[in-house]
Chains A and B, each alone.
Chain A
Amino acid sequence: MVSRRQALTVAGAAGVAGVAGAAAVAGFDSSAPAPVAVSDAVAFTGAHQAGIVTPAQDRLHFVAFDVITKDRDRLISLLKDWTAAAARMTAGHDAGEIGAVNGQPEAPPDDTGEALGLPPSALTITAGFGPTLFRGADGKDRFGLAAQQPAALSPLPRFTADALDPAISGGDLCIQACANDPQVAVHAIRNLARLGMGVVSVRWSQLGFGRTSSTSAGQATPRNLFGFKDGTRNLKAEETDLLNEHLWVRPGDGPDWMTGGSYLVTRKIRMTVETWDRSSLAEQEAIIGRRKGSGAPLAGTDEFADVDFKAIGADGSPLLPLTSHVRLAHPDTNKGARLLRRGYNFVDGSDGLGRLNAGLFFIAYQRDPRTAFIPIQRSLSGQDDMNEYVRHVSSGLFACPPGLSGASDFWGSALFS
């Protein structure tokens, strides 16, 4: 198999396959200080799925599907096809075995072609299963999986001020594609959606630009569209013990097929940036609970300083307001609950009222949403001062199975066995 780049530059050659080949032609300068090569390939197989603790890439295309077949075998067959195509694309190859330009002229190509010539771009493709795959709205066991539904995968409760649009919420399956090139992420989703026709139907999808979290100690903390550093206290890839405690599903947590997996919560959070921009710097900092410039907590000296909940200001009130975002979201406020966040900013054009349709596509992975996202969001939705400027318009919950063991493994193999 030749990489997309080689397909164009050394067409017909036997080709140096795989990661090394793709990296070689990507033309890296070995003297450049690049701890994470943005164009490199990320390993697709492993104990856990890629795209969770992988250093957060810059771009996202996320899609949720409804399964439209009643045929369990067709669904399994698609999951196998998807896994094979994802393995090829994450390595920088075309989606299909033949490729975008090497097939019969009368046939539609088995790859759509827009990623030709582009390097792997750290593409990760991560799959998850929604509650409705196990039981339909009528409670019916759709594919003989109902007994395998983890308790942790029960639909999320309603939170105060939720303004969810069902058309862009939920889904039986999800695919998260992250890459450092938006074209590569979109290419991945487009080709997987195409493979799924007749078996699944796209329910909703979301593009994201600009990661809003760092998932590795090597990454600087990025900013969200409020202009603040976001995810300073995020779980990070290097914190192995914390990841085992808070991120990965452990044996005995629920059905065995999820051991080594993680639960994914998505929330599309519309930000009314125009009114936010009219609020004073002091008010913005009080709402978030951090300095806008340094990211330091209001009662702390630098970004990574511990949050001091007890510090009292000159006027006698707490330095960190009781209804600030940092205080309400902090593990100490939520019985130690931690999330691995890897959300993205979005701007979906404008809303017809002269405002940007902008916000945060929140993505969080966790060992069990019942002790992580749900209590944290309960705390935030009721009291957070930020609520004046945000509105949750879409919500998703998915069980992402463990990583793939090799070429014959596929997403959900243990679930469907």
Chain B
Amino acid sequence: MRTTPRLLALVTTGCLGVSLAACGSDDKADTAAAGGPVPVAATDTTCEVAKTSVDAGTSVFTITNKGQKVTEFYVYAPGDRVMGEVENIIPGVSRDLHVELPAGSYETACKPGMSGKGIRGALTVAGSSAPLTENAALADATASYSRYVKSQTAALETKTGEFVAAVKAGKVDEAKALFPIARTYWERIEPVAEIFGDLDPRIDGREEVTEEGMKFGGFHRIEKDLWAVPADISKDGPIADQLMTDVKEIVQKANAEKLSPLQLANGAKGLLDEVASGKITGEEDRYSHTDLWDFNANVEGSKAAIASLRPVLEERDPALVKTLDTEFAGVDAALSKYRSGDGWKLHNELSQADLKSLSDAINALAEPISKVAAVIAKPA
């Protein structure tokens, strides 16, 4: 168990993400908790974690995917605050997660098919743990979100690579299947992406927002060609290459950037505004109609930002946290009606009444979320 000052020192020296918790799975292990790695056997329907109690400090989980679907493994603090995660564990492969856990109650989760709440289990971390000071809690929020960005950008780069490869190989069906999946990682962290000037429009711009002198490229240009009748991606090689270059650049920049707690709060709200203005209307993915993938990813990203801020919010406005939990659950329930396999129904399969129920749920969540920034900004 690291003490609070130590945690603060780590934050201020900027060696986050790696030192606090390794999320990419292949970071070099330092000291595993006593008793060695905890084996996790994941299948498409089960998630067997060998221990339900570990000591405070760094734990190592070794996840083996024995199922048929690609899976993920998470350790959540209350409110689904991600303490550590491993994404994209393909069948037959084992990966390690190194995660530092202060004493408390947690949940583990495997996500076969990489979607939904996952298969949950309780995890108790024994030991003593002094509560963080408010400043330390704010710094920890930034650190926690940086971990999230790191995990999402890694997956974004991988999945965009697969998408680009499929496009260049002329594999239309494969590219179509990968399009909403690659975008999921993008949409979860869009508030970070938007910081970097014209990189965002280059990667994600829609045809009508393309400025004069700028060529229509990125995800949506390829989307247009993929879903044209007949599909024609024969000339999209250079566009795909440029998308990969841009994504790599933004991944690098995003990982170097540290969002302030206030930026996190505004980002959580901004993601819901994205849903309300672009996804509900079907404007975002107008050719593929895969808007609900983006919708869900925006909500997940918003939830992750709020989860990072959760300890501070719990301290300052517990009633607001309760409201947010209720309304996030409301959005998840409203959205879950439109699940289809591991993905989502298409936007044009939803009726106006369906869309209104989603809009109501987003409004119900966005109003209280708009109050988070002021709570965070209040001097401690």
Using CB atoms and an 8 Å cutoff, list the residues of chain A in contact with chain B: 68, 103-108, 194, 197-199, 201
Contacts and interface: CB of A to CB of B under 8 A. Distances in A.
Contacts of B335: none
Nearest to A106: B377
Interface of B: 262, 265, 327, 330, 356-357, 359-360, 363-368, 370-371, 373-374, 376-378
Nearest to B370: A108
Nearest to A103: B374
A241 to B, nearest CB: 46
A125 B76 CA distance: 47
Given A197-B367, A198-B327, A104 B360 contact: no
A397 to B, nearest CB: 22
Nearest to A201: B360
Contact of B378 (A68, A104, A108): A104
A108 B266 CA distance: 11
A69 B371 CA distance: 21
A378 B292 CA distance: 48
- Top 4 A-B residue pairs of the complex, sorted by shortest distance between their CB atoms: A198-B364, A107-B374, A106-B377, A197-B363
7 contacts: A68-B360, A106-B262, A107-B374, A108-B370, A194-B367, A198-B368, A201-B356
Contacts of A201: 356, 359-360, 363
B374 A198 contact: no
B367 A198 contact: yes
Nearest to A195: B367
B368 to A, nearest CB: 8
Nearest to A104: B374
A102 B39 CA distance: 56
B317 to A, nearest CB: 12
Contact of B363 (A103, A105, A198): A198
Contacts of B370: 107-108
A184 B101 CA distance: 54
B377 A104 contact: yes
A333 B373 CA distance: 63
Contacts of B378: 104
Contacts of B371: 107-108
A101 to B, nearest CB: 15
A197 B364 contact: yes
Contacts of A106: 262, 265, 373-374, 376-377
Contacts of B376: 106
A104 B376 CA distance: 11
B172 to A, nearest CB: 39
Contacts of B327: 198
A103 B357 CA distance: 32
Nearest to A200: B360
Given A68-B360, A68-B364, A106-B376, 18 more contacts: A68-B357, A104-B377, A104-B378, A106-B262, A106-B265, A107-B370, A107-B371, A108-B370, A197-B360, A197-B364, A197-B367, A198-B330, A198-B360, A198-B363, A199-B364, A201-B356, A201-B359, A201-B360
B364 A107 contact: no
A201 B352 CA distance: 14
A107 B374 CA distance: 5
A344 to B, nearest CB: 26
Contacts of B377: 104-106
Nearest to B334: A68
Contacts of A103: 374
A198 B272 CA distance: 14
Contacts of A194: 367
Nearest to A68: B360
Contacts of B265: 106
Contacts of B368: 198
A27 to B, nearest CB: 36
Nearest to A108: B370
Nearest to B266: A106
Nearest to A107: B374
A382 to B, nearest CB: 34
Question: Which of B363, B365, B376 gathers most chain A CB within 10 Å?
Answer: B363
A369 B366 CA distance: 40
